[in-house]
Amino acid sequence: MTTKDKLLTIKEVAEFLRVSERSVTRYIEAGRLKASKVGWWRIKQSDLDDFLKKTSNVNNKKR
Residue 1 has pLDDT above 60, yes or no: no
Task: Report the domain count for the chain.
Answer: 1
| Chain centre to alpha carbon of residue 33 | 5
In this predicted structure, what is the pLDDT of residue 38?
A: 85
Q: For position 54, which CATH number holds? A: 1.10.1660
> What is the C-alpha separation between 1 and 3, in angstroms, rounded?
7
Per the model's pLDDT, the better-predicted residue between 53 and 61 turns out to be 53
Beta strand pairing call for 7-9 and 40-44:
antiparallel
End-to-end CA distance of the chain: 38
For residue range 27-60, list pLDDT tens digits in order.
999 999 999 998 999 999 999 999 999 988 765 6
Q: What range defines the domain where residue 26 resides?
A: 3-62
Is residue 14 within 8 A of residue 23, CB to CB? The reply is yes
In this predicted structure, what is the pLDDT of residue 60?
A: 61
